[in-house]
Structure 1
Amino acid sequence: MSLENLRLLAGSSNLPLAFAIAKELGVPLCEADQPEKTGEPRYAPGRFPDGEIRVQIGQTVRGKDVFIIQSTSPPVNDHLMELLLLVDALRRASARMVCAVIPYFGYARQDRKKTGRVPISARLVANLLETAGVDRVVTIELHAGQIQGFFNVPVDHLRVDPLFHRYILEHHPEWLDNLVIASPDLGGLWRARRLGKLFKSPLAVVVTYRGSRGEKERIPEVDHQVIGDVRGKRVLLVDDILATGGTLVEAAEALVEAGATEVYAACAHGLFVGESLALLERSPLRRVLVTDSINLREEVRRHPLVEVVSVVQFLADAIRRIYLNESITDFLAYGP
């Protein structure tokens, strides 16, 4: 079927990803702001002189199905506000359907009240998107799967473990010998279990205790702070977010203390904030795989420890299937 009524729009968070998806689909990216004075098109929202976000969609979207590609990565507030204004502009321009494709869903860490007097940020973001007029949300590897339930519109929660599985088989088959799949904490064990099922590998987990303010403490009663046999094994740590790298590095150190010979990591979203690269360089980690759900700065892309697994074809296929009303069950994070 033709994609003639499909439109793609993007915020400024990850324009390279948006352009690559547009190329994969053979659909041009719509302009999101007034052209430059030189006549050059602007494919992301602009700014007014006082810093407010300016949106003016350059092509007609009346009666069209529009997919907005925008991660809510740092600067989170700017990118979230861009997304909300793009949705509002599309609604007022009579788009038939508006789907927010949010490869990295920010504000997802606070998905419940862990202590008194704190917000449930993920629920608030869901409310904002629905109030703006979103009809559907597509996202990758939510920090907590229950966030889907905060929405009253369909949410397609995509899993990237098949991408990591295929990438490792093609580029690092040497990892497969004596491989154990591990989670850096108990909360992410379900994520490691999915990849473990694909590799037919045993599981391990590094046990942590999270205090009332979110600080992490190892439990000294657990031998080597690791549950599972990793002695003499290669270990692949699986997590959803690499922010400062602290969690991964602590887990890698615990695994090496428990006898692991080599430790690698696969993370869906690479934020790489602060001194994360320097921390990874000093760690036992041999390699870190991340996707391009976030627009990685050149320093990260070129770093010898980091390898990027593309989600371009994956997201393009999901968008195509949604537009054509085809099943995407194989892409969804229902668990193993």
Structure 2
Amino acid sequence: MYICNLHSFFMSFKIFNGSTCGKLTDSICNLLDISKGDCTVERFADGEIKIKINEHVRDKVVFIIQSITSTKTNSVNDSLMELYLMIRTMKRASAQKVIVIIPYFGYSRQDRKTEPRVPISASDIAMMLETAGADRVVSLELHCGQIQGFFRDIPCDNIYTSCLLADALIKDQQLKNIDLSNMVVVSPDAGGVSRARSFKQMLSIAGVETDFAIIVKERDTHGQLNNMNLVGNVQQKDIIIVDDICDTAGTLLKAIDELKTYGANKIYACITHPVFSSTAIEKINNNKNIEKMYVTDTIEMKKQDEFNIIHQVSSAELISKVIHIFVNGGSLNSLFISELPIQTI
């Protein structure tokens, strides 16, 4: 249990969740040793969302934890509308402050105009959350860090997950399941270079020095992937592909095939957000060139028994520390310099 000095603050803040982060929120509340807020999310007969907060929140600081993603019963849009209505309900119930924690920020991939007459959806969602009355937004591993700038009047914090995934690799190394002495960290595209470098830095802090490589994508005028070019040496090396999202797994598996043509040995993947749309899980499990995939629980797993090579890493402790910092008036800078225990080998 992550023991926090929170009992003196218990009467002043509460943690609620929507339908996408129930298990994660339970783990967070257990770590903080507090009870989860009582909230009911239901549907009217026509599918409209009905929110009911079953306890008073007047003058309290309210944390709402909700990923903008699909579930077995909800679409991405349902999850977003749930979040919007929960924020509005809290504000109408006279909550002192509403801090929204979005482990996975859906719509973040549309962060710029790539062709005429298309939305910048990430900016529009930011505007929507501000209009709803959110006082602060926190997300894990935003697809693009500049999304923070789409929030004009409230802070938006981007919490990196490199420390979580690097720690998982270190622990597997200690269990003799992985040899980190011959590793190359690979970014599957130019946009993810800073993310992959951060991961490489986390390994370096733990005493593991790795090389670095980038896969550069070439697309046609319609945005279709034409070619992949590797910058860096991976021949006879073990690989760690680092990315933020795995949706259909198409880009990941193409990157794996490309690395194999350049002579890579064992290939591992560290992905923050396991969206896993369509047949992604089946394709990953059937691919013989990937040894293991590490993901976080920003999105709840749907079919745990099918995850033969996928290992889920909990983000509950990281989010618990974020909440602890907000409640006690600390600085998030401690998270950016990685206070999480990465075990040195």
Task: State the Cα deviation string for residues 188-238 of structure 1 (Å, max 9, x = none).
Answer: 11111111122231111112123444321215xxxxx21101111100000
Tell me the residue number matched to 1:179: 183
Task: State the Cα deviation string for residues 29-68 of structure 1 (Å, max 9, x = none).
Answer: 11222xxxxxxxxxxx111122111111011111111000
Q: Determine whether 1:286 maps to 2:287.
A: no
SS at match of 1:107: coil
Letter in 2 for 1:73: T
Mapped to 1, the partners of 2:225 and 2:336 lie a distance apart of 30
CA displacement at 1:302 relative to structure 2: 4.8
Mapped to 2, the partners of 1:281 and 1:86 lie a distance apart of 37
Q: State whether residues 102 and 138 of structure 2, in contact with CA within 8 Å, keep that contact through their aligned partners in structure 1.
A: yes
The match for 1:20 among 27, 31, 39 is 27
Letter in 1 for 2:123: R
Tell me the residue number matched to 2:9: 3
CA displacement at 1:298 relative to structure 2: 2.7
Letter in 1 for 2:218: Y
Q: State whether residues 285 and 308 of structure 2, in contact with CA within 8 Å, keep that contact through their aligned partners in structure 1.
A: no
Mapped to 1, the partners of 2:220 and 2:129 lie a distance apart of 31
When structure 1 is superposed on structure 2, of 81-90 and 202-211 the one drifting more is 202-211
Mapped to 1, the partners of 2:164 and 2:21 lie a distance apart of 20
Letter in 2 for 1:26: D
TM-score, reference length from structure 1: 0.91
Mapped to 2, the partners of 1:26 and 1:96 lie a distance apart of 22
Cα 1:333/1:226, change in 2 over 3 Å? farther
SS at match of 2:82: helix
Q: Determine whether 1:323 maps to 2:327.
A: yes
Mapped to 1, the partners of 2:253 and 2:179 lie a distance apart of 19
Task: Could you tell me which runs of 5 or more consecutive residues in structure 1 were left unpaired when the two chains were aligned.
Answer: 34-44, 220-224
Q: State whether residues 181 and 210 of structure 2, in contact with CA within 8 Å, keep that contact through their aligned partners in structure 1.
A: no
Q: Determine whether 1:239 maps to 2:243.
A: yes
The match for 1:297 among 296, 299, 302 is 302
SS at match of 2:291: strand
SS at match of 1:236: strand
Compute the RMSD of aligned alpha carbons.
1.5
Task: Could you tell me which runs of 5 or more consecutive residues in structure 2 were left unpaired when the two chains were aligned.
Answer: 204-208, 339-345
Tell me the residue number matched to 2:342: none
Q: State whether residues 236 and 265 of structure 1, in contact with CA within 8 Å, keep that contact through their aligned partners in structure 2.
A: yes
Q: State whether residues 112 and 120 of structure 2, in contact with CA within 8 Å, keep that contact through their aligned partners in structure 1.
A: yes
Q: State whether residues 158 and 333 of structure 1, in contact with CA within 8 Å, keep that contact through their aligned partners in structure 2.
A: no
Tell me the residue number matched to 1:209: 218
**Aligned residue pair count:** 317
Mapped to 2, the partners of 1:185 and 1:267 lie a distance apart of 14
Cα 1:290/1:333, change in 2 over 3 Å? farther
CA displacement at 1:22 relative to structure 2: 1.3
Letter in 2 for 1:79: S
Query: What does residue range 137-176 of structure 1 map to in structure 2 within 5 Å?
Result: 137-152=137-152, 153-173=154-174, 174-176=178-180
Mapped to 1, the partners of 2:104 and 2:94 lie a distance apart of 27
Q: State whether residues 281 and 306 of structure 2, in contact with CA within 8 Å, keep that contact through their aligned partners in structure 1.
A: no
Letter in 2 for 1:63: D
Query: What does residue range 31-180 of structure 1 map to in structure 2 within 5 Å?
Result: 31-33=38-40, 45-74=41-70, 75-152=75-152, 153-173=154-174, 174-180=178-184
Mapped to 2, the partners of 1:331 and 1:51 lie a distance apart of 40
Mapped to 1, the partners of 2:67 and 2:211 lie a distance apart of 33
Mapped to 2, the partners of 1:175 and 1:137 lie a distance apart of 38
Aligned-pair identity (%): 37
Letter in 2 for 1:12: S
Letter in 2 for 1:121: S
TM-score, reference length from structure 2: 0.89
Q: State whether residues 285 and 307 of structure 2, in contact with CA within 8 Å, keep that contact through their aligned partners in structure 1.
A: no
Mapped to 1, the partners of 2:334 and 2:230 lie a distance apart of 32
CA displacement at 1:333 relative to structure 2: 9.2
SS at match of 2:100: strand
Q: State whether residues 156 and 332 of structure 1, in contact with CA within 8 Å, keep that contact through their aligned partners in structure 2.
A: no
